[in-house]
Structure 1
């Protein structure tokens, strides 16, 4: 990466960290999975996977998820990977401001006007306020201040709560200190999965003057409180105008031509209000300009896009060639915007 604008030192330290923590059993399992899926020889795939990790900054799961076993060198070079994304985060997301994105309470405080929904904090002695908030909204979502991949997110219905003092005590004990109103999503999103608020992940880079949209992925849930893969969710990549480029998929080998529950054809999905979404991402990216590289989770409602959260460690969402037929990724767009 030093040839691409990042310092060699951090890269070598990251590589050393990976070598110390490498799980060879996990590598072999992933190699077997890729070999099976693409009719390759497992030892050859394992060697290629290790070489790609050591010299091309390709995470082991990246190798599997983005079908590197069937891509040539030029095609692989177009894919953004998690190690490269991590370097961008470390360089462009100022450490003094990352806490705003790591703590959901702090995030809601800073971005309150862009959440466009009610929220409150659970504290000792405010059981009556929690009851009033919950009963007024009917259903609420609670969040633990620090969590990722949907962990620490819960959903409660006022009609099912019989002891409000006990409910309040339980929230405090479990660390569910943030309560939010449930987002009412646009009908076009509810048509795919009405039981989960389906978020759009927009990875963006703010260069101090302009916000560059690097990639867009639409996540779909399975009726749970979160659309993350840990809850059975999956995603499809969107093109620049917000249209799905193909079926949905996840990191567990599942491919969804149609949504398993609603039967909606994933490749037919069009994100509503795409122009409003683009303008909204530019607005949120300017709130904390010191954190330049962010994966924004937003939801389009009948009244326009609203903010769910921002991830300073943006993560990576990319095309899966065996599913979409598209054998190139988004890395050229990252390079054009960031200059590495």
Structure 2
């Protein structure tokens, strides 16, 4: 039942005049989706995000769909090592030199150790160590909290496998887009015999009061030109709304220069060498005035972020890079 509800939600809410017509057209689109699942390996989300209902088969074959992304993961990532990029606690241990911030697991610490952490880092983020897509992330500001309030927060976080991190102070050119969230650059890499290859880059931005910038939870994403670091597409959300300026802050999206771009690319290439058995990774990079810092790595980095903003399928790009593994 949930599947049909999800299909109906996309059909009636995607911002596209080709959808949302009547029940007979919805049935036709559902049948078309089933054919696309069989032929293209398209998930339901792929089908609507990439507008497969309006594309010719030759165009659809260019996209990394659900089935094709599974092939990419199998070709690139050793299943015995992917846990190193699944557990955020392990990520922080392995990539500690690239975090540039304090972090703590409250489940493993006493209240006194927690109190010292928040004294040093009064604004911090709490996120589930095994969470995905920004689910369960909370932001705390305890600069005015007394001991009783701190005790209550400590107890609230106990037993839930939360990871605490100092809140990142972003570069002003990125912060201004949406001050409530840390707005990251998602860069996707594959390591082959040529070294670490950066294949795509996208700017991710939060919306409204959200403290996360995740596309799947309503955020906005825009493509970034790899050569220049300039945002090269309009912003888009998963419901196909497009933005030239950020709707909450009126800050320009397209044409924006990502600061410290050459540093960012060099930084990500170093990250791609740390766990050589995991060749494909989507890196979430925050940019501060001192340079790039790692937020986290994703061994199953989302392809919607890479293909939706510029409406360009990238399966050939990934296949050609994988050939040289």
TM over 0.5: yes
**How far apart are the structure 2 equivalents of 1:252 and 1:170?**
34
Shift of 1:307: 0.5
**How far apart are the structure 2 equivalents of 1:23 and 1:195?**
33
Q: Does 1:66 align with 2:50?
A: yes
Q: Does 1:101 align with 2:85?
A: yes
| TM-score for both structures, normalised by structure 2 | 0.88
Which residue does 1:10 correspond to in 2?
none
- Give secondary structure in 1 for the equivalent of 2:158: helix
Which residue does 1:190 correspond to in 2?
175
Closer/same/farther in 2, CA of residues 24 and 231 from structure 1, 3 Å limit: closer
Q: Does 1:221 align with 2:206?
A: yes
Written as runs of structure 1 = structure 2, the 5 A alignment for 1:1-340 is: 23-27=3-7, 29-31=9-11, 37-38=17-18, 41-123=25-107, 126-162=110-146, 163=148, 164-176=150-162, 178-222=163-207, 223-229=209-215, 231-240=217-226, 241-316=228-303, 317-320=305-308, 327-339=311-323
Shift of 1:272: 1.6
- Give secondary structure in 2 for the equivalent of 1:142: strand
**How far apart are the structure 2 equivalents of 1:30 and 1:50?**
15
Check the 8 A contact 1:101/1:107 in 2, yes or no. Answer: yes
Shift of 1:38: 2.5
RMSD of equivalent CA atoms: 2.5
**How far apart are the structure 2 equivalents of 1:123 and 1:190?**
31
**How far apart are the structure 2 equivalents of 1:209 and 1:327?**
28
Closer/same/farther in 2, CA of residues 165 and 92 from structure 1, 3 Å limit: same
**How far apart are the structure 1 equivalents of 2:258 and 2:66?**
26
Closer/same/farther in 2, CA of residues 213 and 125 from structure 1, 3 Å limit: closer
- Give secondary structure in 2 for the equivalent of 1:215: strand
User: Whose helix proportion is higher, 1 or 2?
Assistant: 1
**How far apart are the structure 2 equivalents of 1:138 and 1:90?**
42
Shift of 1:125: 5.3
- Give secondary structure in 1 for the equivalent of 2:143: helix
Closer/same/farther in 2, CA of residues 266 and 124 from structure 1, 3 Å limit: closer
Shift of 1:31: 4.8
Shift of 1:231: 4.8
**How far apart are the structure 2 equivalents of 1:34 and 1:120?**
40
- Give secondary structure in 1 for the equivalent of 2:132: coil
Unaligned 5+ segments in structure 2 are none
Cα shift readout 1:259-288 (whole Å, capped 9, x = no counterpart): 122101221322222211111111001000
Unaligned 5+ segments in structure 1 are 1-20
**How far apart are the structure 1 equivalents of 2:266 and 2:54?**
37
Check the 8 A contact 1:78/1:330 in 2, yes or no. Answer: yes
**How far apart are the structure 1 equivalents of 2:175 and 2:235?**
16
**How far apart are the structure 2 equivalents of 1:250 and 1:264?**
16
**How far apart are the structure 2 equivalents of 1:132 and 1:195?**
25
Shift of 1:330: 1.9
**How far apart are the structure 2 equivalents of 1:85 and 1:25?**
25
